[in-house]
Amino acid sequence: MVHERASALQYFGELVVPGREREEQKCNPHGLGSMYRGDMLSQAFVCSQLKRLDENNALRVRNCHFLTEHLSPIVGIETPSVPDHCDHVFYNYVVGFRPDELGLDVSPRTFRENVQKAPAAEGVPVGQWQRKSMPARGRRHATRAHKAMLRAMVTCTIGLCVLGVGHRSLAAGITWEEAQEMLRSGEGLSKDPTHGALVENPTHYGAEANPTGDPIGGGAGYRDILTSGDYTVGTRQELLDALEQAKEGQVVYVKPGAEIDLTDLTRIAVPDGVTLAGDRGAGGGEGPLVFTRDFGTGGYRGLLHAGSKSRVTGLRLRGPDPDYADYTEQTKAAAYDASARGILAGAASEVDNCEISNFYRDGIAVNVADVRIHHNYLHDIAAYPVIVGTRPGSSAIIEANIIHWGWHATAGTGAAGTSYEACYNICRPHRIAPAFGPTVSHCLDQHADRDIKGARGQSIAGDWLRWHHNTIELKGPYTTYDRERIYSSPNNACGMKIRGTPRVLAEVYNNWIQTSNIAQALGPYGGPGEQAYGNVWVYNNAYGPEKRKLAEIPYRTTPQILFKSPGPPEVDSHQVRGKLALDVEVNVLEPLRLAGVIVTLDDEELFLEPRAPRAGEVVIDAAVLGEGDHKLSVSAIDNRGALGTQYVYVTPGK
């Protein structure tokens, strides 16, 4: 008897039969009990997880809200109700069943038991535990111990309510009243990020996480080196003849050690599907050299024009302009006037294992989709070693390159419909002196769409960006912070600059930015006192020589606002015919939580709630729109007070 009562005290007052599943035994308390089931090891593990409590709660709450949103419209299902003054952390997600709402003459229990068979068959864990209220367990349990247990239950319920309120003030951040005020004013909160602990897995950050199996920058050790071709060339005329004759799938191979002078020629075509190759890296060699001293005059001054699905690999391409250190005022002016470029990439083309240098701008230019630029060494290119996008649809992956930069390592024009990914690159700043002054510009760059900005004054930074696992070498004291330009002493540029709101999202993660100055690392629009543009997520990067993480997600990270109907911002207004049902998607980076969303049309408030509007919840009637353009704006704020905005223009259709 003593052992039995002690066992019950250990296990919620229940009598548990060893060897039987707990679900089979139901809940059978015979008195007051505690939860002394855990051992020291499991309890130590639980303690270690407390630092993730807010994060895990937020993830669970988000998932349960998703369930509620999609289950609540279903007739016959009752989802959990959360009072406005409380937060629910959903230890379990409990639903009720109302067969009467469906006109079914069955008990709720029978209905429930049949319904739960479907999710159980799909592997979803469902079931019941507390099937009866405690007083309904029979007169024989109405003892003093049972009454004490009932009093304890009441006390625990009150305690949980108090805990819920306290947890809300700690984790939820701003109140709903504060969120409304910020959304209406358009001014969110900002806070200087601070350093945290050393990252737990240093090799997961920066270019050293390189998963390609080939050396960054190519050269010795690169595996996909060609050593022969359908045409083998060693002179200027042989190269031109072979490129003119080559067909899709063929290789034009430049002999090892060859030096081919293409002076006075421009836009030499590499036909669709043709590979132009050298053997850079074979046996540790430099690879054959293809170069120009002058492009002559007129037209787009690029050395190679790579066709669709073509490949340029294993070559050294050298332009007519000086090394960084050799620029003078005269050579700078001449280089600017000529604007020499290296390769104009074709759709789905590839540039790999090349050394590209000495072009004033655009070592590789991308104006088409699906270009892959990887394992190259780019240096002594004054402006834009790699640039993406003057045409909608332009996109590129820029991967595992070594890029020396004086005026951006990678850049995007920001044109609507353009995107690029930069990953596993090593980026090294170089002063282009003395003609360019004592400064180095920022490393990763995205401009704003010129046409939209010119027509609307709206800064749209392309569609999507993914900058991740890059090593950005920044050193020295950081002295200047300015909204439009961040420059300071030589070899001391800032890490990045996104000059507007992407139409989809910019993600910056798992980079190693080798400066301890966070404002220098993150650049303008997100530093001290700055209100960030929207649709930017900066997270999980390492900073400084020791690879430290930040103590919190930087306020540069804002909610994502994605227009679906009407579509994203364009130069022209979206025409509204009849009624426009607004469809906009709003997301926040986990573990952040959405605190509120406002929708306005010009100065009229159409929606203000602590959630995003459901598709079609906000409707705009073209019949009541006046002539001309109208600004349809959506702003969202997270639980920290970080605010982002995206807007489009609509006009009555004809």
**Which residue type is seen at 15?**
L
> Is residue 528 exposed (0-12), middle (13-18) or buried (19+ Cβ within 10 Å)?
exposed
Measured at the alpha carbon of residue 524, what is the angle toward residues 519 and 526, in degrees to the nearest 5? Answer: 70
3-state secondary structure of 116: coil
Tokens of 580: 């426009």
- Which residues, in sequence order, are CB contacts of 335 under 8 Å at separation 6+? 321, 322, 327, 360, 382
For residue 634, give Cα distances in angstroms to 172, 191, 390, 506, 537: 22, 23, 27, 18, 18
The answer to whether the CB of 642 falls within 8 A of the CB of 532 is: yes
The answer to whether the CB of 358 falls within 8 A of the CB of 321 is: yes
Q: Please count the residues of the chain.
A: 654
**Which residue type is seen at 64?**
C
Residue found under tokens 């998607």 = 585
3-state secondary structure of 653: coil
Within 10 angstroms of residue 133's Cβ, the number of other Cβ atoms is 7
Residues facing 374 on adjacent strands: 352, 399
* 342 DSSP assignment: E
Residues facing 537 on adjacent strands: 507
Nearest partner of 558 among 463, 466, 467, 643, judged by Cα? 643
**Which residue type is seen at 608?**
L
Nearest partner of 207 among 16, 383, 59, 374, judged by Cα? 374
Q: Tell me if the bond preceding 566 is cis, omega within 30° of 0.
A: yes
The answer to whether the CB of 467 falls within 8 A of the CB of 512 is: no
Question: Low-confidence residues of the chain, pLDDT below 70?
Answer: 1-38, 84-85, 128-172, 296-300, 338, 433, 435, 437-439, 475-492, 524-532
* 568 DSSP assignment: S
pLDDT tens-digit map of 223-256: 999 999 999 999 999 999 999 999 999 999 999 9
| Dihedral over Cα of 446, 451, 454, 457: its sign | negative
* 12 DSSP assignment: T
φ, ψ dihedrals at 94, nearest 5°:
-105, 130
Instruction: Give the pLDDT score at 351.
Output: 98
pTM of the model: 0.73
The answer to whether the CB of 474 falls within 8 A of the CB of 513 is: yes
Cα(596)–Cα(392) distance, integer angstroms: 33
Which segments of 301-435 are extended strands (E)? 302-306, 311-313, 316-318, 341-345, 350-352, 355-357, 364-366, 371-374, 377-379, 386-388, 395-399, 402-405, 410-412, 419-423, 426-429
